[in-house]
Amino acid sequence: MRIRPYIADKDFEYLEKWIDNERIHALWCANRIPYPITKNTLQRILDKNAVEWTDSAYVATEDNGTVVGFFCYSVNLENNTGFLKFVIVDNRKRGRGYGSEMLRLALQYAFAITKADAVQLNVFSENPAAMRCYESIGFVPRTTDKDVFSFNSEMWSRCNMIVRDHKTETERTEIK
């Protein structure tokens, strides 16, 4: 698997197929983008987030170039913490390790290239498969905000999860 920058004209067709119902859409973006997703509405939010948060969008591909995942990443320079958002994997690939592998590559990029000390993400508690995926690569729950998102007649809780760059922590300890 590889990660590369998202190219709307080449990659949107994959995302559009994965976000094929309102529940998956809400779990993916907390309705920050209107449903059904269009290339223009996605691009507008990506452009807005790039300016406001320095987000960059990426895709994960199989070695043959087939797109199998998507995420956005930014770094808050004030606290040197990265943030992942809009994480999604091809629904035909879920449960087979693709999400974990994509996120491992994203964390390698975050820690080695952007030099973040930690990376956070938010996930709805109503998405236990995603939570298990994040926990499997080292994310731990940090805070949970109860009943913060309404979907149909349900109230969802949002869990903020974090993983720290242990190499950075070790290096800091050795320097002191």
Q: Would you give per-residue pLDDT tens digits along the chain (176 residues)? A: 999 999 999 999 999 999 999 999 999 999 999 999 999 999 999 999 999 999 999 999 999 999 999 999 999 999 999 999 999 999 999 889 999 999 999 999 999 999 999 999 999 999 999 999 999 999 999 999 999 999 999 999 999 999 999 875 545 444 44
- Map residue 127 onto helix, strand or coil: coil
| Residue 73: closest CA among 89, 48, 56, 87 | 56
Residues 6+ apart with CB under 8 A from 97: none
Encoded amino acid at 74, one letter: S
Does residue 5 have a cis bond before it (omega within 30 degrees)?
Answer: no
Domain 2-175 CATH superfamily: Gcn5-related N-acetyltransferase (GNAT) (3.40.630.30)
pTM, whole model, 2 decimals? 0.92
- Domain parsing of the chain, residue ranges: 2-175
CA angle 132/75/97 to nearest 5° reads 25
Per-position b or e across 115-126, b if 16+ CB within 10 A of its CB: ebbbbbbbbbbb
